[in-house]
Each structure stands twice: as structure tokens, then as C-alpha cells.
């Protein structure tokens, strides 16, 4: 990859920048018209968590800090007591990886700490994804693919909706594009330096969404397996990528294991996800393959009513989830996992899923627009993957995000948001198909012109 700057910028750079600015304008219009002006759920965590971080409170749970908590708790001796957690309670959290909160906190630190400011900050990051999509397309195939990929990233609602909702998917998409670009460069030129860069960038993808951590080992192992390098060099370059990646995530992991009681790596939310996704309602009811909030109740406390820290609670609810899974394994494998995957890919109860997304905070217009755009882009993406494979061009570094999203849904639950990283695969492969159709149309017109000229000449 060329990293040198040139002036005046190339025609390609000017066009990609213009597409990015148009995409930014679209996001700003969305923010000031139909995007919510308040936050809830995960967005509340990111927005208020960023403000608390900027105020010097560290990475703490914003829900307990702002609201406190009150529960009736059954003690070990059977007595029921009321346990009150006061407002202002500072509890370390690793509920989500830190990149997005840290990004927003940088704006909060300079006074841009409102919901609207964080929406606009996310839109800027979204515009960065448009630029990365363009350069990834050009490096992967050609300039036309770059233009098409940038346009799709700019207008595809399932990508830009996250910016206005203040969700970490904005950061995940940005780093998925960047990691694919660096990964493609490593695929074509697996030097030690490129291995280090891939390890560094892929670590930020993992620090955006924890499940993206699998990209690095899979790509490095496949590239090194295909390489003609000596086994010694393969091992060295694999070790470099792994070591740099580990060193990049190490500060967060070290902090987690100092601040929390149980061992934690990138996040400690797996137990909460599992307990809400593995219960009667999600195995046999209307929510098959989805999640149900009440399945996580009651919240665990210590035997004497003491407040357990986040990591301790996560261990307890994970054990509760595993107990349910062990008693319903056949149902999980034959019904629930397929339903989860099908939900995430929009082929099982898609209308119900869209309506649920709207209830959970997605503006209706954007949610439906994203769905119908996806209906068009998904088949194009499948065709693009086939075209790329038949051309013997790299498929893994672009398509792996779809595999990881499928794995996430299978092990957690199916929801549109979990497809977010896979949208990178969707727009890139769809761009291949669109460009192939365009080239076919040009050849067809050229052939018709030649035929018409031949007929005229013979006449």
C-alpha cells in the first residue's frame, strides 16, 4: 500500500472524498431529522460512559452511577431484604470493549458531550468508513470497484443508521474496513512489517467488538499456510502478528483484571448474553433464536446480600445459561441455532425482526430502508463472492466478516445489529457484481454498435 501523500490529489482521491462528504451530509440530515435525540440501552452506555470517562471517572457502569439500584434479595438463610445501591455508585465495567467509548470520550473531553455531538462524531467516523471502502475496492480490484463500494457504504442504511443511534457498530465497521485493507496487503505481500501492521489494526477491530478478534488468527494462519516461505519464516511472521496484536489489547486486559474480581479478557458480557438467549422463551416461544430480557432475572447477589461486581455476576448467569443449554441441547442444535443464523441474515421472521428493531430504537424509515436495500444487495453480494472466487482473487479477507457474524449469531442470538461487520462483506462483494454487470452492458452496447456498423457498411 502506498502511504505517501501527493498534491494535487489524484482524481480518484477527489471523487472518493466527494462521495464521503455526500455520505456525511446524508448522516447529518438523518441525525437532525429522524434520529432519536436521546439514548437508551447500549447507546446510553456508550454516551454516558464516554462522558464519565472524560470526567476522570474511568470505565465505569453509567447505569448504576446515574440511577443506582434497588432489589429485594433472598439471603442464604432464606430472609428477604431490600438492597439499595445509591446513585453515584462507581462500579468498574468491561461490559463492552473500549474503543468506541474512548473515541466519544475524546469529544466529551473538549466539551462536545451532548447526544447530538456524539451522533455527529459518529457520523465523522462513518465518513471515514466510506473513504476506506473506496480505497479497499481500488486495491482489491480497480478504481471502479472503489467508487461503487464507497457509494454503497455512503447510502446503505444498515451502515449509516448506527451513527445516529450512537452504537459501537460505527467503530466496528470502520476497523473492519481498515483491517480488510491491511489484511489484503498482508495477503499479497506477507512481510514481517505487514504482519505487525495487521496485528496492530486487527486488535483495534477486536477492541471495537470482541468477536472480531478471530479475524487475525484465521487470516494469518491461512496466509502462512499458503505461503512458499520457509517454516521458520512462517512461524516468525505469525508470531509477530500475534505478539503485536496481544500487546495492543494488553493494556485493556490488564486493566480489567486489576479492576474486576474474575478473569476477563476483552469484555465480561458473555454470561449476560447467554442467559438472555437460552431460556424457555427463546427456545419454544415467539422469540426462538432471539433474546428475552427477563431471562436474566433475578440479578445475582452474594449470600449475605452483598453487591457482586460485574465479572462475578457474569460468571453466575453464565453458569445458569449453561445449565439450561445442557438440558436442551438437541433443541439448541436442531432449532435454535438455525433460527439465530436465519434471523441475523434476515430470512427467518424478517418482518417481525424489523418491527422489533423499531421497538428497540431504530427509526422506522431507516430500518425499513435498510431492509429493502439489503434484500437487493444480499443476492448481489453472493454473486460477487462467486465471481471473485472464479477470478481467483482474494475472498477470505473480505468475506470473513460474514463468517464471524454467522458464528456470533449461532453462539449468541440473531439480531440485525449482529450482522453489522458482515455488511462490509455485503457492500464489497455487491460492488463486484455491479461492476461486472456494468462491464457486461458496455460490451453488449459495443457489440451492438459494431454489428450496426457492419450492416450499414454491407448495405
Q: 280-322 pLDDT, tens per residue?
A: 999 998 899 999 989 988 888 888 888 888 999 999 999 999 9
Q: Give the burial class of 140: count Cβ atoms within 10 A of its Cβ; 0-12 exposed, 13-18 middle, 19 or more buried.
A: buried
- pLDDT score, position 453: 65
Q: How far apart are CA 49 and CA 101, in angstroms?
A: 6
- pLDDT score, position 82: 79
CB 126, CB 11: distance < 8 Å: no
CA angle 277, 279, 284 (to 5 degrees): 100
- pLDDT score, position 4: 52
Positions of the chain with pLDDT under 50 = 3
To the nearest 10 degrees (0 to 180), the angle between helices 396-411 and 422-458 is 140
Q: How far apart are CA 412 and CA 272, in angstroms?
A: 10
Q: 155-204 pLDDT, tens per residue?
A: 999 999 999 999 999 999 999 999 999 999 999 999 999 999 999 999 99
- pLDDT score, position 247: 98
Query: From residue 9, how far is each of 5, 17, 138, 244, 453 by CA, in Å?
Result: 8, 10, 16, 33, 41
Q: Which helix (H) or strand (E) holds 147?
A: helix 143-155
- pLDDT score, position 80: 78
pLDDT, mean over the chain: 93
CA angle 360, 363, 367 (to 5 degrees): 90
pTM > 0.75: yes or no = yes
What three-state secondary structure class fits 184? Answer: helix
- pLDDT score, position 81: 79
Nearest to 166 by CA among 207, 210, 213, 105: 105
As a whole-number percent, the residues of the chain with pLDDT over 90 amount to 81
Amino acid at each position: 500500500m502506498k502511504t505517501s501523500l501527493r498534491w494535487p490529489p489524484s482524481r480518484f482521491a477527489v471523487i472518493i472524498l466527494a462521495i464521503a462528504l455526500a455520505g456525511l451530509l446524508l448522516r447529518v440530515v438523518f441525525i437532525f431529522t429522524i434520529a432519536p435525540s436521546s439514548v437508551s440501552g447500549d447507546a446510553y452506555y456508550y454516551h454516558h460512559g464516554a462522558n464519565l470517562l472524560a470526567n476522570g471517572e474511568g470505565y465505569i457502569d453509567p447505569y448504576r452511577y446515574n440511577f443506582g439500584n434497588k432489589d429485594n434479595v433472598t439471603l442464604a438463610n432464606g430472609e428477604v431484604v431490600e438492597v439499595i445501591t445509591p446513585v453515584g455508585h462507581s462500579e468498574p465495567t468491561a461490559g463492552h470493549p473500549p474503543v468506541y467509548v474512548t473515541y466519544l470520550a475524546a469529544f466529551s473531553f473538549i466539551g462536545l458531550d451532548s447526544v447530538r455531538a456524539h451522533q455527529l462524531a459518529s457520523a465523522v467516523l462513518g465518513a471515514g468508513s466510506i473513504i476506506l471502502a473506496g480505497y479497499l475496492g481500488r486495491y482489491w480490484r480497480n478504481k471502479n470497484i472503489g467508487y461503487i463500494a464507497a457509494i454503497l457504504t455512503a447510502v446503505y442504511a444498515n451502515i449509516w443508521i448506527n451513527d445516529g443511534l450512537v452504537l459501537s457498530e460505527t467503530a466496528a465497521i470502520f476497523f473492519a474496513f481498515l483491517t480488510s485493507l491491511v489484511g489484503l496487503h498482508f495477503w499479497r505481500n506477507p512481510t514481517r512489517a505487514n504482519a505487525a501492521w495487521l496485528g496492530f489494526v486487527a486488535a483495534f477491530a477486536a477492541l471495537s467488538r470482541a468477536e472480531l478478534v478471530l479475524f487475525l488468527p484465521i487470516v494469518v494462519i491461512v496466509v502462512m499456510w499458503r505461503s512458499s516461505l520457509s517454516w521458520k519464516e512462517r512461524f516468525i511472521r505469525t508470531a509477530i502478528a500475534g505478539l503485536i496484536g496481544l500487546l495492543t489489547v494488553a493494556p485493556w486486559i490488564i486493566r480489567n483484571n486489576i479492576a474486576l474480581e474474575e478473569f476477563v479478557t476483552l469484555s465480561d458480557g458473555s454470561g449476560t448474553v447467554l442467559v438472555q438467549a437460552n431460556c424457555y422463551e427463546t427456545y419454544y416461544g415467539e422469540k426462538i433464536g432471539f433474546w428475552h430480557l427477563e431471562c436474566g432475572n433475578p440479578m445475582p447477589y452474594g449470600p449475605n446480600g452483598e453487591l457482586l461486581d460485574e465479572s462475578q455476576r457474569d460468571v453466575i448467569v453464565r453458569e445458569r445459561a449453561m445449565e439450561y443449554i445442557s438440558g436442551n441441547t438437541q433443541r439448541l442444535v436442531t432449532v435454535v441455532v438455525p433460527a439465530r443464523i436465519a434471523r441475523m441474515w434476515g430470512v427467518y421472521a424478517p418482518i417481525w425482526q424489523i418491527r422489533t428493531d423499531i421497538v428497540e430504537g431504530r427509526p422506522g424509515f431507516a430500518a425499513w430502508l435498510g431492509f429493502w436495500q439489503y434484500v437487493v444487495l444480499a443476492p448481489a453480494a453472493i454473486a460477487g463472492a462467486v465471481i471473485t472466487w472464479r477470478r481467483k482473487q482474494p475472498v477470505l479477507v473480505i468475506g470473513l466478516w460474514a463468517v464471524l457474524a454467522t458464528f456470533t449469531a449461532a453462539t449468541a442470538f440473531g439480531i440485525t445489529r449482529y450482522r453489522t461487520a458482515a455488511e462490509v462483506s455485503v457492500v464489497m462483494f455487491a460492488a463486484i457484481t455491479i461492476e461486472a454487470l456494468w462491464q457486461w452492458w458496455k460490451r453488449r452496447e459495443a457489440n451492438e454498435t459494431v454489428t450496426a456498423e457492419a450492416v450499414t457498411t454491407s448495405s
